[in-house]
Amino acid sequence: MSQGPTPLLSLSGVSKRYGGVVANSGIDLAVTAGSIHAILGENGAGKSTLMKLIYGVETPDDGVIAWKGQPVRLSSPAAARRLGIGMVFQHFSLFETLTVVQNMALVVPGAQAALAARIRALGDEFGLSVDPAALVHSLSVGERQRVEIIRCLLLDPELLILDEPTSVLPPQSVVKLFETLRRLQVKGMAILFISHKLEEIKELCDTATILRLGRVTGRLDPRNHSAKELATLMIGREMPAVVRAAPLGLGEVRLELAGVGYANDDPFGVSLSDVSLAVHSGEIVGIAGISGNGQQELAALISGEIAQGAAPGAIRLLGQAVGDMGVAARRRLGFAFVPEERLGRGAVPEMSLADNVLLTAHGRGLVHRGFISRQAERAFTADCIARFDVRTPGPETEAGALSGGNLQKFIMGREVMLEPAMLLVSQPTWGVDIGAATDIRQRLVAMRNQGVAILVISEEIDELFQICDTLHVLYKGRLSAALPTASITVNEVGAHMIGAGQPAGAVP
Amino acid sequence: MNAVEFILAGMLAAATPMLLAALGEMVTERSGVLNLGIEGMMALGAALGFMVTYSSGSHALGFVVAAAGGAAISMVFAALALGFVANQVVAGLAVGVLASGLSSLLGKPFESQTLIALPKLALPGLAEIPVVGVLFQQDIVVWLTLLLALAIWGVLNHSRLGLIVRAVGENPHAARAVGFSVITIRCAAIAFGGAMAGIAGAYASTVYTPLWADGMIAGRGWIALALVVFGTWQTGRVVFGAFLFGALSLADLTAQAVGASVPSQLLACIPYGVTILMLAVISSNRKRLRLNSIASLGQPFEG
Amino acid sequence: MRLTLVRRERASRLAMFAAPVVALVLSALASLILFAALGKPAEQALYSLLLEPFLSWYNFSEVLLKAAPLMLIAQGLAVGFRANVFNIGAEGQLIIGAIAATALPVWYPAGTSVWMLPAMIAMGALGGMAWAGVAALLKTRFNANEILVTLMLTLIATQVLNYLLLGPWKDPHGFNFPQTVPFPAAAMLPVLLPGTRVNISLIGALIASVLAYVMMRHRFSGFQLLVSGLAPRAASYAGFSERRGIWVSLLVGGMAAGLAGACEVAGPLGQLQRSVTTGYGYAAIIVAYLGGLNPLGIVASALLMSVLYIGGDNAMVSADLPVAGVAVFQGLLLVFYLASLTFIRNRVVLIRRPGAAR
């Protein structure tokens, strides 16, 4: 690492542990000015921890961080910002009840009027237009990202860190983001671009540092290597093959929404209007869209967590009108649901896996005359752990102690073992490593082949294209018409994701 | 003096203990911390304020010591809620029990002693208006409290410090990520709330009813907590609510003054009953509550 | 260097059992210092507070007498606390329960029916449930915070009690004291241990403890309450009704407090008087938490709290310690307990600054 000019930022031997878990181990990294440097790694590889260390959110247990050749101690984000490091978080660090300019004023000195003018100027220069007086909760995800980037730029950083910036964006906005980043690069700024998407890195970055299990496994120019080589370095083996779903004859309709609307009480939530869709036996239907466009509300309406009440439209589940039914009644019909939040919704973190099984599987002989049968509970849990390859010491382990991927396998397993006729899965592979994600997708396809009707809500277009027979796109609470995956392109779906597709709401 | 004049003359002073405590609690809650120990902290402030004023003859010194005592006991709460990440509801109750126990213990030797209250200051001009004029003859603490309310409104809504407190209350994780020390800011907000509760208690025991009696706070700390919800965390509405409850708390005195024959115990229930009613009315409007409420209120924060 | 908390992989059972003991020791030390600072004979006070209640059969029987209502109310409240329904108005529910039970002997002061006592007990339970039910209704229907509502209802209950004792229910032969007529024998609880005031409500409290244990450990309904307390969104996801949880929590707590109120007037008091409200309803909150919200733990903590009450009476005589000393001790106990509780799920780790490591 000693050749060439002094790197802007360099790390040597940096390590970080959380309790017994080693998140980063002996990381060496060098970022030079004017470079777009990728940090590549799958979920759980330690990318986010590394960025927190560089941005001063966490302090390393060991190793040296140097800025322009001088060792520095980054005790807080404020210290990092003073050096000239800016960061755009994956889960934005914006305050929803404040305006754009107030959000800036928290971090950037100066009068608000002057700030507003600078926000507009930066927006023009780098293609990041946003209204300074708008309240953040009224902005789209893409706009919020622009706010985050501008907030960094106002401090004239020399290094900008972006944590998974494209995971929240539709394809068209990714193109715009890349343009912005290239303009910044031309100005001499260094950019750390964190991602697990190989094609993006090959397109944008000039250097890549690859992480696996908290260690650096490669340092290279991604433009000179194939996606396959990158993947091998990232996950330690070749990318697992994906079983594409073969078309199947459609069975009966198991879930049907006809013109469903929902006026949200929560001013920060999304209202749904005129949502129509049908899921048949032996079919996987996908709901694409940027999160925050009504996915949570739609899932909760189908699961019964939100009572439909007097809202318009009809929901039919397994042949019955279920608008007035509660969650438990819908489950008794043969409905199961894997929610996007695992801790605190899909599972109770402080409870054992065995007790977490009781949450939804109590109807399967685990409760007799109101008394819990501990034996049956343990047996069911042990079965779930074995069949779904949940890595855990046993049924008595607390759910909160499991990794994200293992917990998802457990919840998925629990719901699958209920042998549902209709399964709703929300964000099946969020935060899950590639091996587990592939496994989950294959199980969904296998269930479909056995005749289960499945509705999958996901932000990952690639995933939906892999497993779904039909796609809908959710945008601002409206659902597109059914789009057969066999005959549409990613770009067409992307157009729907930003509201530029065909008129929404048409019944297929 | 007729009933209207009686209420107008007394409501501001009656409102002041509740208003002081509610303003402090509002700031604490704005930072995302729910402190249910207000009643006990007021009691402690009342005891300390009375003891010091009685011994030194200085109301000012009494207020200072009461504020310091309120802030000190609120640091016990801060240690539990922030340091030990305990359940804020239970931690507040625990410190409340401790503080009110301490107030009884410390105040015991002063039981039934009395003090001389502060003189009334009339606002020139306004105080001469017929009927309404009595409203403008109040002691200095009442006037200072109103100025303080204005200052709190200004800081919360028009200063960087206010922005920081609101940001921490809305999303402590984001606040930490952009570089604020959530614990420090919340600790300061708790201390402010504790000091205000102490002052509120001291006003009750040294000015409003200048005597010491165990249990004299009589639920006013709890009403202050309700006032914060009633005012949906907005300074102006909290002030308005406090005036309303100040007037209501005079109901039984007013009835006696005009010679009505309703049992005084039932009249004494009016503020409590209205509190319940108001809570139900305000809370049932979930949309409005969600717009104004503090997103992280009562949530433990580790970091 | 600094200290920081690191979350444990799983809850520590050692810390769970150690927490109340540590809290007791620290509270004793803190109050020793405090009492000494106030110029009281601190060692004597502590001796009277913690040990004397065990040193005579009479004192210990009084401990058992007071433990019964504390245990009963705490078991009821703990059901709700586990579901994060904070009923802190047990005091008011106790008062209304006592009032409801008193109605019968006031209306039939010479009653001899064997049904009088059971009817009073039932009235007490219903009274407490009705008072807590108001909070449940307002919470489920209007989203009104149950903490503030139950507390306001307690303040109202106190005024209702005063009104009745000073007005319509005042004993005409009671020398103008605020109290009702003395209850007839048929309205009194049988004594359990001859020669003491301990009555059969102690058996009732122990039965309630067993029922609470079965409910929280083995019944699916108890599990549902636990889930709604630990993770409300998981409860809603699993289809456990939030309304039902709120109603069950408040009604069980109200019933227990109402029963305790009835047992007080039909037991040691023998009439309705102001001293029915001695803070059992508030103390039971501390009892419930100090017992770790665990039905067995609550049996132990109810005894401890009762010891403090009896010991406090002793210390008043022997060490000139005001009754408030007991309240301070209770507060300290809960404060220290909450602090120790943290170590069940966390352990303390010494963090070295990265610079210092090299």
Distance (Å) from the C-alpha of residue C54 to the closest C-alpha of chain B? 25
Q: What is the pLDDT of residue A32?
A: 93
What is the per-residue pLDDT across A71-125, written as a single tens digit (0 to 9) for each? Answer: 999 888 889 989 999 999 877 789 999 999 999 999 888 888 899 999 999 988 8
Q: What is the pLDDT of residue C354?
A: 45
Q: What is the pLDDT of residue A405?
A: 84
Q: What is the pLDDT of residue C226?
A: 95
**Residue at token pair 């911390």:** B33
pLDDT at C338 > cutoff 50: yes
**Residue at token pair 């949940």:** A390
Number of domains, chain A: 3
Q: How confident is the model at residue A507 (pLDDT cuts 50, 70, 90)?
A: very low
HSE, side-chain direction, 13 A CA sphere, residue B286: 11
Residue A261 main-chain phi, psi, to 5 deg: -125, 160
Q: What is the pLDDT of residue A384?
A: 96
Q: Which residues of A touch B299 (CB under 8 A)?
A: none
Q: What whole-number distance in Å separates Cα of residue A148 and Cα of residue A115? A: 14
pLDDT at C357 > cutoff 50: no
Strand partners, A219: A209
- B300 touching chain C per CB within 8 A: no
Scanning chain B, the segments in alpha helix (DSSP H) are 3-30, 38-56, 59-78, 88-107, 140-158, 160-170, 172-177, 182-203, 220-230, 235-248, 251-258, 264-268, 270-284, 286-292
Q: Do A358 and C230 touch (CB under 8 A)?
A: no
Q: What is the pLDDT of residue A125?
A: 86
Q: What is the pLDDT of residue A504?
A: 43
Residue A351 main-chain phi, psi, to 5 deg: -105, 155
The amino acid at residue A13 is G
Q: What is the pLDDT of residue B254?
A: 79
Q: Which residues of B touch C160 (CB under 8 A)?
A: 265, 269
- B232 touching chain A per CB within 8 A: no
Query: What is the domain range of residue A200?
Result: 9-235
Which of C221, C227, C355 lies nearest to residue A359, judging by beta carbons? Answer: C227
Residue C104 corresponds to which tokens in the numbers above? 């019968």
Query: Is residue C354 included in any domain, yes or no?
Result: no
Q: Do A59 and C9 touch (CB under 8 A)?
A: no
Same domain, A202 and A98: yes
What is the per-residue pLDDT across B182-237, written as a single tens digit (0 to 9) for each? Answer: 999 999 999 999 999 999 999 999 999 999 999 999 999 999 999 999 999 999 99
CA-nearest residue to B174 within chain A is A93
Which are the contacts of C326, defined by CB distance < 8 A and separation ≥ 6?
B101, C49, C308, C309, C311, C312
Query: Is residue C346 included in any domain, yes or no?
Result: no
CATH of residue A477: 3.40.50.300
pLDDT at B303 > cutoff 80: no
Same domain, A179 and A259: no
Q: Which residues of B touch C155 (CB under 8 A)?
A: 218-219, 222, 269, 272
Query: Is residue C272 included in any domain, yes or no?
Result: yes
pLDDT at B1 > cutoff 80: no
Strand partners, A264: none
Query: Is residue C309 included in any domain, yes or no?
Result: no
Query: Is residue C268 included in any domain, yes or no?
Result: yes
- C2 touching chain A per CB within 8 A: no
Which residues numbered 276-315 in C keep a CB inside 8 Å of some CB on A? none
Which are the contacts of B237, defined by CB distance < 8 A and separation ≥ 6?
B230, B231
Neighbours of A5 (CB within 10 A): 8
Distance (Å) from the C-alpha of residue C186 to the closest C-alpha of chain A? 38
Query: Is residue A244 included in any domain, yes or no?
Result: no
What is the per-residue pLDDT across C7-20, written as a single tens digit (0 to 9) for each? Answer: 776 778 888 888 99
Query: Is residue A370 included in any domain, yes or no?
Result: yes
Listed in order, strand segments (DSSP E) in C43-165 are none
Query: Is residue C122 included in any domain, yes or no?
Result: yes
Q: Do B226 and C334 touch (CB under 8 A)?
A: no
What is the per-residue pLDDT across A255-265, written as a single tens digit (0 to 9) for each? Answer: 999 999 999 88
Residue A489 corresponds to which tokens in the numbers above? 């392109």
Q: Do B102 and C141 touch (CB under 8 A)?
A: no
At residue A277's C-alpha, the angle toward residues A272 and A280, to 5°, is: 150
% residues pLDDT > 70 (chain B)? 99
Query: What is the domain range of residue C152?
Result: 62-294
C40 exposure class (CB count in 10 Å sphere: 0-12, 13-18, 19+): buried
> Does pTM top 0.90 for this prediction?
yes
Q: What whole-number distance in Å separates Cα of residue A128 and Cα of residue A149? A: 8
Q: What whole-number distance in Å separates Cα of residue B85 and Cα of residue B122? A: 48
> Going by DSSP bridges, is the β-strand pair A335-338/A422-426 parallel, antiparallel, or unpaired?
parallel
Instruction: Choose, out of B87, B171, B178, the residue to mutate when testing the contact with A (most A CBs < 10 Å).
Output: B178
Residue A365 corresponds to which tokens in the numbers above? 């002989």
Provide the 8-state DSSP code for C88: -
Same domain, A153 and A59: yes
Distance (Å) from the C-alpha of residue C240 to the closest C-alpha of chain B? 22
Strand partners, A258: A314
Which are the contacts of A480, defined by CB distance < 8 A and separation ≥ 6?
A472, A473, A474, A496, A501, A502, A504
Q: Which residues of A touch C293 (CB under 8 A)?
A: none
Query: Is residue A365 included in any domain, yes or no?
Result: yes
Q: What is the pLDDT of residue C333?
A: 95
Query: Is residue A309 included in any domain, yes or no?
Result: yes
Instruction: Supply the mean pLDDT for chain B.
Output: 92
Distance (Å) from the C-alpha of residue B93 to the closest C-alpha of chain C? 9
In this complex, how many residue pairs, one in chain A and one in chain B, have their CB atoms less than 8 Å apart?
Answer: 56
Query: Is residue C106 included in any domain, yes or no?
Result: yes
Which of A349, A359, A370 lies nearest to residue C219, judging by beta carbons? Answer: A370
- C220 touching chain A per CB within 8 A: yes
Q: What whole-number distance in Å separates Cα of residue A57 and Cα of residue A78? A: 9
pLDDT at C37 > cutoff 60: yes
HSE, side-chain direction, 13 A CA sphere, residue C238: 32
CA-nearest residue to B165 within chain A is A106
- Per the rule left: phi > 0, alpha: psi between -120 and 50, beta: everything else, A392 is beta
Q: How confident is the model at residue C157 (pLDDT cuts 50, 70, 90)?
A: very high
What DSSP letter does each residue of C108-129 carry, written as one string? Answer: -TT---TTHHHHHHHHHHHHHH
Which residues numbered 130-149 in C keep a CB inside 8 Å of some CB on B? 138, 141-145, 147-149
Q: What average pLDDT does this structure show over A63-76?
A: 92
User: Of A418, A450, A470, at which residue does a domain stop?
Assistant: A418
CATH code of the domain occupying B3-292: 1.10.3470
Which of B163, B179, B290 lies nearest to residue A98, judging by beta carbons? Answer: B163
Query: Is residue A261 included in any domain, yes or no?
Result: yes
Domain residue limits, chain B: 3-292
Q: What is the pLDDT of residue A505?
A: 41
Q: Which long-range contacts (CB under 8 A, 24 or more apart) does C24-28 make?
A: C24/C304, C24/C333, C26/C332, C26/C336, C27/C329, C27/C332, C27/C333, C27/C336
Query: Is residue C4 included in any domain, yes or no?
Result: no
Instruction: Choose, out of C81, C147, C280, the residue to mutate when testing the contact with B (most B CBs < 10 Å).
Output: C147
- B182 touching chain A per CB within 8 A: no
pLDDT at C267 > cutoff 70: yes
Q: What is the pLDDT of residue C11?
A: 77
Which are the contacts of C168, defined by CB distance < 8 A and separation ≥ 6?
none
Instruction: Choose, out of C158, C159, C290, the residue to mutate when testing the contact with B (most B CBs < 10 Å).
Output: C159
Number of domains, chain C: 1
Distance (Å) from the C-alpha of residue A80 to the closest C-alpha of chain B? 9
Q: What is the pLDDT of residue A269?
A: 87
Q: How confident is the model at residue A244 (pLDDT cuts 50, 70, 90)?
A: low
What is the per-residue pLDDT across A170-180, written as a single tens digit (0 to 9) for each? Answer: 888 888 899 99
Predicted ipTM beyond 0.90: yes
Strand partners, A286: A456, A471
Q: What whole-number distance in Å separates Cα of residue C355 and Cα of residue A142? A: 40
Instruction: Supply the mean pLDDT for chain A.
Output: 89
% residues pLDDT > 90 (chain A)? 61
H or E segment to which residue A457 belongs: strand A453-457
- C286 touching chain B per CB within 8 A: yes
Contact indicator for A209, A39 with CB cutoff of 8 Å: yes
Q: What is the pLDDT of residue A3?
A: 54
